[in-house]
């Protein structure tokens, strides 16, 4: 948080504001919201549906901006994040704060007025969870930061469903649980190969605090309930065979990669480390599963 106005070199332009919203990560957040909405049994009016997705995108982007406003100092210490607009000195912190608060408020108010209050309430909760619970409270304090704080990223399927139905039901709760249980293997796989960055910045991520072996074991352990939740909708009668088959095949591959990560010894050296494969696959996995849950409702 030491980046002050006088360090500015080039004025911020729209690309820097876009970068503040973490567009690549947020694309999956928005996609899970869209699929949660499409998985609902009642069709939503296209204009209301579009507005709801826009609000999720604005809310998630604003949360990303507030995260970067708060941790400009941390981002400046890590290679992966040094080029972001604040640590690179292309934007002052106040602009990021105004942008984040303004867009967050706009997203929640628009969701409440144009869609419904349930969706608006959960959107507000997820923004507060990411910014206050994860970023401000837990991230610098405990290696359980992403387990608890990661719930923020799991709310969008509930928001999408609530936008269409005005309530919450078992299927979106399962989708929430899926993203919640997916987050630790997703993030710790990455943390295994960017461990030194986090150590240098003093962030207590699991591989830094508990070591590589414990992290590998935790990845394996979280994959078990995640897999159970991923395949549950078909046997529970909440989705059809299309989702059932896709979830079984893609989850089996996830479990295999997680097993390779869990059983790999520290220091082994192969062309592509299993944790890199698991991290890359974790992103495609969620895109495919959520695509399947929506496709199952519409085409099966
Ligand atoms: C607290 C929980 C999480 C943490 C700490 C985390 C952290 C990260 C980090 C550090 C990256 C590396 C690349 C980057 O900085 O862009 C990444 C990539 C990614 N994350 Fe996560 N993540 C979390 C949860 C989620 C959730 C809930 C989603 C979506 C549902 C998600 C979607 C993605 C995607 C799509 C990428 C790939 C981005 C790219 O292609 O560059 N993440 N995550
Ligand atoms: C609708 C709504 C508000 C959704 C919130 C979206 C959300 C919480 C996503 C979580 C994923 C995420 C960006 C983690 C980054 O962790 P980090 O901030 O520690 O990553 P960094 O090191 O790249 O900054």
pLDDT of 264 reads 86
Query: Closest ligand 2 atom, CA of 63?
Result: 3
Residue 208 pLDDT greater than 70, yes or no: yes
| 142 and 150 Cβ atoms separated by less than 8 Å | no
pLDDT of 2 reads 43
As a whole number, mean pLDDT of residues 41-65 equals 97
**Looking at this predicted complex, what is its ipTM?**
0.96
Q: What is the pLDDT of residues 221-245, one digit of tens each?
A: 999 999 999 999 999 999 999 999 9
Residue 122 pLDDT greater than 70, yes or no: yes
Q: What is the pLDDT of residues 76-106, one digit of tens each?
A: 999 999 999 999 999 999 999 999 999 999 9
- Calculate the average pLDDT of the chain: 94
| 152 and 67 Cβ atoms separated by less than 8 Å | no
Q: In whole angstroms, what is the distance from residue 215 CA to residue 217 CA?
A: 5
Q: In whole angstroms, what is the distance from residue 8 CA to residue 91 CA?
A: 6
Backbone φ and ψ of 140, nearest 5°: -90, 0
Q: In whole angstroms, what is the distance from residue 258 CA to residue 246 CA?
A: 18
CA 204 to chain centre: 19
Residue 137 pLDDT greater than 90, yes or no: yes
Residue 59 pLDDT grade (very low, low, confident, very high; cuts 50, 70, 90): very high
Q: Between these two residues, 11 and 6, which has the higher pLDDT value?
A: 11
Residue closest via CA to ligand 2's atom 6 equals 153
For the chain, counts of helices (H) and of strands (E): 14, 0
3-state secondary structure of 237: coil
pLDDT of 150 reads 82
As a whole number, mean pLDDT of residues 198-219 equals 94
Cα of 221 vs centre of ligand 2, distance in Å, is: 23
pLDDT of 265 reads 66
Query: Closest ligand 2 atom, CA of 64?
Result: 13
Among 186, 203, 230, residue to substitute to test ligand 1 (most atoms within 8 Å of Cβ) = 186
C-alpha to C-alpha distances, 265 to 128, 221, 268, 274, nearest whole angstrom: 39, 17, 6, 11
Least confident of 10-19, 61-70, 285-294: 10-19
Cα of 67 vs centre of ligand 2, distance in Å, is: 8
Helix axes 117-128, 156-165, angle to 10 degrees: 170
Which ligand sits nearest to residue 71's alpha carbon? 2
pLDDT of 271 reads 57
pLDDT of 3 reads 44
Q: What is the pTM of this model?
A: 0.94
Cα of 54 vs centre of ligand 1, distance in Å, is: 20
pLDDT of 10 reads 65
The residues lining ligand 2, judged by C-beta closer than 6 Å to any ligand atom, are 22, 25, 29, 56, 59-60, 63-64, 67, 81, 123, 126-127, 130, 139, 152-153, 155-156
| 187 and 146 Cβ atoms separated by less than 8 Å | yes
Cα of 119 vs centre of ligand 1, distance in Å, is: 23
The residues lining ligand 1, judged by C-beta closer than 6 Å to any ligand atom, are 24-25, 28-29, 32, 134, 146, 149-150, 153, 179, 183, 186-187, 190, 283, 286
Which ligand sits nearest to residue 280's alpha carbon? 1
DSSP 93-114: HHHHHHHHHHHHHHHHHHIIII
| Residue 239 DSSP label | S
Q: What is the pLDDT of residues 147-174, one digit of tens each?
A: 998 899 999 999 999 999 999 999 999 9
Q: In whole angstroms, what is the distance from residue 206 CA to residue 194 CA?
A: 12
Residue 31 pLDDT greater than 50, yes or no: yes
pLDDT of 207 reads 93
Q: What is the pLDDT of residues 240-293, one digit of tens each?
A: 999 999 999 999 999 999 999 999 865 566 656 899 999 999 999 999 999 999
Q: In whole angstroms, what is the distance from residue 228 CA to residue 248 CA?
A: 10
């Amino acid at each position: 948080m030491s980046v002050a106005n006088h360090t500015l070199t080039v004025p911020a332009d729209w690309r820097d504001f876009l970068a503040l919203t973490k567009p690549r990560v947020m694309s999956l957040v928005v996609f899970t919201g869209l699929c949660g909405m499409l998985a609902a049994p009642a069709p939503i009016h296209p204009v209301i549906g579009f507005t709801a997705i826009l609000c999720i995108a604005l809310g998630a982007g604003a949360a990303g901006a507030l995260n970067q406003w708060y941790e400009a100092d941390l981002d400046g210490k890590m290679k992966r994040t040094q080029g972001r607009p604040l640590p690179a000195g292309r934007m002052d912190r106040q602009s990021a704060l105004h942008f984040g608060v303004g867009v967050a408020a706009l997203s929640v108010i628009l969701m409440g007025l144009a869609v419904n209050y349930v969706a608006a309430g959960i959107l507000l909760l997820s923004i507060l969870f990411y910014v206050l619970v994860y970023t401000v409270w837990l991230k610098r304090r405990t290696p359980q930061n992403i387990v608890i704080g990661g719930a923020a990223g799991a709310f969008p399927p509930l928001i999408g469903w609530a936008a269409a139905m005005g309530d919450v039901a078992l299927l979106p709760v399962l989708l929430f649980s899926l993203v919640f249980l997916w987050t630790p293997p997703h993030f710790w796989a990455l943390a295994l190969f960017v461990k030194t960055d986090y150590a240098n910045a003093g962030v207590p991520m699991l591989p830094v605090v508990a070591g590589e072996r414990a992290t590998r074991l935790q990845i394996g352990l979280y994959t078990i309930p995640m897999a159970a939740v991923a395949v549950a909708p078909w046997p529970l009668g909440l989705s059809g065979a299309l989702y059932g088959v896709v979830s079984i095949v893609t989850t089996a591959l996830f479990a295999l990669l997680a097993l390779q990560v869990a059983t790999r010894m520290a220091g082994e050296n192969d062309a592509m480390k299993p944790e890199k494969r698991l991290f890359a696959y974790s992103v495609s996995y969620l895109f495919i599963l959520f695509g399947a849950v929506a496709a199952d409702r519409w085409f099966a």
